[in-house]
Amino acid sequence: MRGKQPTIWDIAIKLNVSISTVSRALRNAPDINPETKKAILDLAHQLDYQPNTVAASLRKNKTDIIGVMVPEFVHAYFPNVILGIQEVANAAGYKVMVMQSSESLDIEKHNLQAMVSSRVDGLILAITRETNDYDHIVAAQRKGLPIVFFNRIVDELQGSKVMVDDYTGAFTAVQHLIQTGCRRIAHLAGPENMTIGRNRLNGYLDALKAHQFPLDETLVMHCDFVEGRARKYTQLLLDRPDRPDALFAVNDPTAIEALICIQENGLSIPNDIALIGFSNAPHSTFVTPPLTSVVQPIHEIGQLAAQLLIRQITTPQQFTPEIRILDTTLVIRQSTRPLVG
Amino acid sequence: MRGKQPTIWDIAIKLNVSISTVSRALRNAPDINPETKKAILDLAHQLDYQPNTVAASLRKNKTDIIGVMVPEFVHAYFPNVILGIQEVANAAGYKVMVMQSSESLDIEKHNLQAMVSSRVDGLILAITRETNDYDHIVAAQRKGLPIVFFNRIVDELQGSKVMVDDYTGAFTAVQHLIQTGCRRIAHLAGPENMTIGRNRLNGYLDALKAHQFPLDETLVMHCDFVEGRARKYTQLLLDRPDRPDALFAVNDPTAIEALICIQENGLSIPNDIALIGFSNAPHSTFVTPPLTSVVQPIHEIGQLAAQLLIRQITTPQQFTPEIRILDTTLVIRQSTRPLVG
DNA sequence: ACTGTTTCCGGCAACGTTTCCGGTAACGTT
DNA sequence: AACGTTACCGGAAACGTTGCCGGAAACAGT
């Protein structure tokens, strides 16, 4: 930004008042004459004055910026929660600064540094799939940076967290597969160090157990959110003589990879293999057949995370970490068999 | 950010040097003794010192932040160009601040104000579909804010622009429909005030003309990027006695709406109706049938936009607006009929 | 011993705000 | 007439950097 921008100084001089008065007028403080205030506001408008927030931030020791870091945003999930975040953040007078770590721990560290250097007032964070030590995050927290976690939750970190009821969601999904006649159900799983992976796995396991299904550990494939792995592992499953007749995927992108693989093998969904995803990315409705999926309230996750963070920022003294668990619902489409009876 | 962070002052005192020296060490200036530099760097590391960039920005009159504003990022297009932007921006030492206008002119204005208030060094901008006056943008430019435009381009604005060869892309697409035997080709069009809409429309029209097709203006439906409209208009087309046998959509989200509508009417793609999209959002490969589409180099668009912007920021004196037009390629999948012969 | 040059460092003024601490004038109250 | 109160305003110090300018010391060349 090259061209000199007008400052409160310019306004003050032109109106023969002090900069204090101008400042008072601009952020409508009480101690000011309505007339002078109007004059200042008019001139400010006429000059198209835009306050220099970086100066204000320095002085106030507060940037009114909320940082958001997500592993990626080419799939629909994260953009949608960011939508929710922006909604409540903007309403509360905060700007939102989005960064993506591209599932890389190094970039995550680097971005985190940039965030604290930029003195964001708080951070909403979904860690990388490869984030396995948390020193950088703890260090930032110790510096006083409020962080709320979502989606990629990990027990080792403390702070507010918003998550969904992964266990029940998974349980219901697998139960539905069982009730529609599936007998060998495989799981394309997420990373086990995250609750998102562990809880969905446990829901899967417990649903099998509840229906007296034998446990076959070779049926859980750890795709761990890495692109392309679901496709490979699905192929492995299809090549087995005791091929499964259903797949429960840890999320929709994983499910869609599986779907493509299944169809490439000339198998039909759901007759040969039933398929359930998790997340309900919008385009899970576009694929053929439309994907049965465990829907989470994506938008609400973002809103809630922002609310918790803002509360922590504004009233830090009475802050205690809060863990919020939102409900999921199973949306049945055509990638699973119809319920008989 | 509550807890007091260490400053160069703390380092200076503890080491009995001046803050100037600390500053020199930190941004490795030449005039400094390697030993003192090492001592400072060590202590900085030990204290986990993170420079206060807002102070530095104020002093340097430069934030090293590039703003990006897009109408939305729940579809894959914009996230992907942002990826390209971040790549070159980060490599050049810039942070990226992303905002979305949600296709609302008011939000666009508001966000733009926030951007100039935050004193971003430059802006990469795709305007809203409802942006029809440009005063706010021109005002920002007059203040010295470098802006490069992409995707949503408009003749009334000047500045660097990166776009794709919409005309040729559209022409080739429609020509392909003709060559595969389609005889009544409709166009689900974009807004005509944007070159993206106008050029694709012209490509469509000229392709028809080049093959001596009669012009039927009732076959171009102005969907203008508004959600749901493509579906409605496709239904109108399908209800006509002289139903078209092909649709050329202004972009992929529009195409997918049309696809759903067609299938709901029990018609087959491409036999009853062939369909071509534009943009190649990744999930256009997931739908059934996979979408024939005009592919644009999305990633490259972002990279190029960032390069142009950074050049303008760093060497403003020798700046002249640059308009870059990237090539598209037609990727043929199964939503169009096979080429005979 | 003198100048000139190099190497390193400190002082200090900015950058544009906010905000505390007063101060003055006008007014009402005793 | 003296005082307290109110309403408004100005001065000035911060916030944490950067970067110019100058200065001291050390060293080289005459």
Task: Give CA B87 to chain center in angstroms.
Answer: 14
Q: What does the pLDDT look like over B145-203, one tens digit per residue?
A: 999 999 999 999 999 999 999 999 999 999 999 999 999 999 999 999 999 999 999 99
Neighbouring CB atoms inside 10 A of A147's CB total 23
Q: What does the pLDDT look like over A257-305, one tens digit per residue?
A: 999 999 999 999 999 999 999 987 777 788 888 999 999 999 999 999 9
Q: What does the pLDDT look like over B222-261, one tens digit per residue?
A: 999 999 999 999 999 999 999 999 999 999 999 999 999 9
Between these two residues, B277 and B29, which has the higher pLDDT value? B277
Say if residue B122's pLDDT is above 50: yes
Q: Is the CB of A32 under 7 A from strand C?
A: no
**Looking at residue B1, what is its pLDDT?**
46
Cβ-contact B120, B67 below 8 angstroms: yes
Residues of A within 8 A of B97 (CB-CB) are 95, 97-98
**Looking at residue B318, what is its pLDDT?**
87
What are the helix (H) ranges across A285-329?
Answer: 298-314
The mean pLDDT value of chain B amounts to 94
**Looking at residue A29, what is its pLDDT?**
83
Question: CB-based contact (8 Å) between A116 and chain B?
Answer: yes
- The radius of gyration of chain A's CA atoms, rounded to the nearest angstrom, is 26
Mean pLDDT of A164-171: 98
Selected for mutation to probe chain A from B48, B54, B110 (highest A CB count within 10 Å) is B54
**What is the rounded distance in angstroms from the CA atom of residue A189 to the CA atom of residue A201?**
7
Q: What does the pLDDT look like over B280-320, one tens digit per residue?
A: 777 778 888 899 999 999 999 999 999 999 999 999 988 99
**What is the rounded distance in angstroms from the CA atom of residue B339 to the CA atom of residue B341?**
7
Say yes or no for a CB contact (<8 Å) between A1 and B50: no
Between these two residues, A4 and A126, which has the higher pLDDT value? A126
Residues of A within 8 A of B76 (CB-CB) are 74
**Looking at residue B341, what is its pLDDT?**
59
Q: Looking at chain B from residue 274 to 293, which residues have their Cβ under 8 Å from any Cβ of chain A?
A: 282-283, 286-288
Residue nearest the C1' of C12 (CA based)? B20
Say if residue B272's pLDDT is above 50: yes
Give, in Å, how far the C1' of C27 lies from the CA of A35.
19
Whole-Å CA distances, A117 to A180, A281, B5, B46, B52? 54, 34, 10, 16, 5
Residues of A within 8 A of B98 (CB-CB) are 97-98
**What is the rounded distance in angstroms from the CA atom of residue A270 to the CA atom of residue A266?**
12
Q: What does the pLDDT look like over B202-214, one tens digit per residue?
A: 999 999 999 999 9
Give, in Å, how far the C1' of C24 lies from the CA of A24.
19
Q: What pLDDT band is residue A1 in, cutting at 50, 70 and 90?
A: very low
**Looking at residue B127, what is its pLDDT?**
97
Q: What does the pLDDT look like over A101-133, one tens digit per residue?
A: 999 999 999 999 999 999 999 999 999 999 999
Q: What does the pLDDT look like over A131-143, one tens digit per residue?
A: 999 999 999 999 9
Say yes or no for a CB contact (<8 Å) between A1 and B139: no
Say if residue A318's pLDDT is above 90: no
**What is the rounded distance in angstroms from the CA atom of residue A274 to the CA atom of residue B246?**
33
Say if residue B87's pLDDT is above 90: yes
**What is the rounded distance in angstroms from the CA atom of residue A15 to the CA atom of residue A55?**
22
**Looking at residue B7, what is its pLDDT?**
95
Q: Mind listing the domains of chain A with CATH numbers?
A: 8-51 (1.10.260.40), 63-163+298-326 (3.40.50.2300), 166-296 (3.40.50.2300)
- Rounded to 5°, the CA angle A301-A305-A310 comes to 150
Of B98, B119, B256, the CB nearest to A54: B119
In the three-class reduction of DSSP (H, G, I as helix; E, B as strand; rest coil), residue B287 is classed as strand
Which one, of A69, A129, A70, A79, lies nearest residue A281 by Cα?
Answer: A79
**What is the rounded distance in angstroms from the CA atom of residue B191 to the CA atom of residue B197?**
5
Mean pLDDT of B319-339: 95
